[in-house]
Amino acid sequence: MEGIIKKVENVLRLRNYSPKTRKAYILYIREYIIFAKKAGIKNKEEAIEQFLLNLHEKRSAQTANLALSSIKFLYGDVLKDPINIDLKFAKRAKKLPIVLSRKEIESIIDVIDNPKHRLMISLGYACGMRVSEVVNVKVQDLAIDELTVHIKEAKGKKDRISVLPEKLTDDLYNFIAGRQPKDYVFASNRGGKLTTTSLQKVFRESLKKADINKPATFHSLRHSFATHLLENGTDVRYVQALLGHANIRTTQIYTQVTNPILKNIKSPL
């Protein structure tokens, strides 16, 4: 099995898959091989089907989808096996994103005493950035005079430009003073890049301190950015570009959260 796993890892690296995707693919391929061997199922199609059914019963539809993609990659891209995997992807639960109100975001930022942490949370919301994008931003990526930030090699290895708020320009200038262009804006205390885990922890602590009970995560700042732009009347196509979505249908989920017609309906009670 280890020989196959090594081949999978090599092909994933050659195809320039992200470390997160490589880790997930290897995990599910390993689980699949162990399952098939333990179950003693020789027919590949049957082994795959039973593995995915077993996985779907225990975990989410999204996990089953990722496992299926991993197995297709194993047979199609690594083993060059002409096996026909004629399985449909499981339906994902259609959940609305957790969105924080403007007042809630203001409360979260206000309770943060550390200037670096406060600026990171502010940028996450103000620019619609993922937690990984905030920790990866470098001094050379900021065009403060133009009120833009160049987000490089984001999800899917795609670059995009997002907006910077004029409200944060003085803080940003002060924060990067004396830094080199290739320096991380938010370096750790030991030097080098801050971890996403550290920033997520800062957000959770701030959420608790602000006494907000929503099951929000750092990514909720990105959801809130998109929702509030739509509420301000920004065209959904511009929001799509700012978020870096390949498909506008991904962006349109926010129109369900910010539907002004629904919000203006009064309850009959």
CATH architecture of the domain formed by 2-78: Orthogonal Bundle (1.10)
Residue of 138, 222, 223, 228 with catalytic role: 222
Residues of the chain with CATH 1.10.443.10: 102-263
223 is catalytic: no
% the chain with pLDDT above 90: 56
Q: Check residue 45 and give its pLDDT.
A: 83
User: 93 CB contacts (<8 Å, ≥6 apart)?
Assistant: 60, 61
Extended beta strands in 155-209, E state: 160-163
Residue of 155, 160, 179, 209 with catalytic role: 155
Inform me whether the pLDDT recorded for 13 exceeds 70.
yes
Mean predicted lDDT score pLDDT of the chain: 88
155 is catalytic: yes
Inform me whether the pLDDT recorded for 209 exceeds 90.
yes
pTM, two decimal places: 0.73
Mean pLDDT confidence for 191-202: 89
Residues of the chain with CATH 1.10.150.130: 2-78
219 is catalytic: yes
Long-range Cβ contact pairs of 258-267 (< 8 A, separation 24 or more): 258/227, 258/230, 258/231, 260/231
222 is catalytic: yes
pLDDT tens-place string over residues 62-81: 788 889 899 999 998 898 88
245 is catalytic: yes
Residue of 117, 130, 223, 228 with catalytic role: 130
Minimum mean pLDDT range among 53-62, 71-80, 123-132:
53-62
Burial classification of residue 228, based on how many CB atoms lie within 10 Å of its CB (0-12 exposed, 13-18 middle, 19 or more buried): buried
Q: Which fold has domain 102-263?
A: hpI Integrase; Chain A (1.10.443)
117 is catalytic: no
